[in-house]
Structure 1
Amino acid sequence: MAWIFLGIAALFEITFAMSMKYSEGFTRLAPTLVTAVAVILGITFLTLAMKTLPVSVAYPIWTGVGTLGTVLLGYLLLGEQMTAMKLISIFAIVAGVAGLKISTL
């Protein structure tokens, strides 16, 4: 169940980052509210995951998956550039997340 909580927490991490961008510096009400709710729920589910998972695994995976999702959505939804360095960095994050997951087996 901890891994499911961690996955849900990561989705809220991505939602938080994207809605913060759409809030335009917290000047738009709806995206600002989404940001606040996503932060609270993301941390809540991360905390639930860390009841079982070590912090040295849960937190880096949460931030790593959040980073991956945000980079990909920035590219797909916001027209941000996908450079060679971003692709190499994405590969490094995926490798790190996989290594952390394997370390708990």
Structure 2
Amino acid sequence: MAYLFLFGAVVAEVIGAIATRFSDGFTRLLPTTVTVVGVVSAYFLLSLALRAGMGIGVAYAIWAALGVCAVALIGALLLGDGLTWVQAAGIALVIGGVVSIELGGRH
């Protein structure tokens, strides 16, 4: 169940981050509202993942890394942001780092 909450936290955080782009410096009501609801929901769902027994180090690493990777890929694929080979390699390294943290936490 913890991973389900964590996945929801990642989705909410990504929605909030993408909405921030459209908020025009928090001057547009709908995207600003989506941003706030997304971020608050992300932290709430992260807290549920922690309460369900997931360690904070693993949970935060997965949440942050998947969020960063997802936002970067959505920006590149759907929003016209660039994505260089160096950035793509960075995404791969982030994913590798999270996998290392996850595997290292298991005894």
Q: Normalization by structure 1: what TM-score? A: 0.94
Post-superposition offset of 1:103: 3.0
Question: Which amino acid is the alignment partner of residue 88 of structure 1?
Answer: A
How many correspondences in the alignment? 105
Question: What's 1:89 paired with?
Answer: 90
Q: Normalization by structure 2: what TM-score? A: 0.93
Which structure 2 residues correspond to residues 36-55 of structure 1 after superposition, within 5 A? Answer: 36-51=36-51, 52-55=53-56
Post-superposition offset of 1:24: 1.0
d(CA) in 1 for partners of 2:25, 2:74: 19
Q: Are residue 63 (structure 1) and residue 64 (structure 2) matched? A: yes
Q: How big is each residue's C-alpha offset from its partner over 1:79-105, in whole Å with a ceiling of 9 and x where there is no partner?
A: 111101101100001101222232344
Q: How big is each residue's C-alpha offset from its partner over 1:19-54, in whole Å with a ceiling of 9 and x where there is no partner?
A: 001111111111001001001110000001112111
Q: Unpaired segments of 5 or more residues in structure 2?
A: none
Question: Which amino acid is the alignment partner of residue 13 of structure 1?
Answer: E
d(CA) in 2 for partners of 1:94, 1:4: 19
Q: Unpaired segments of 5 or more residues in structure 1?
A: none
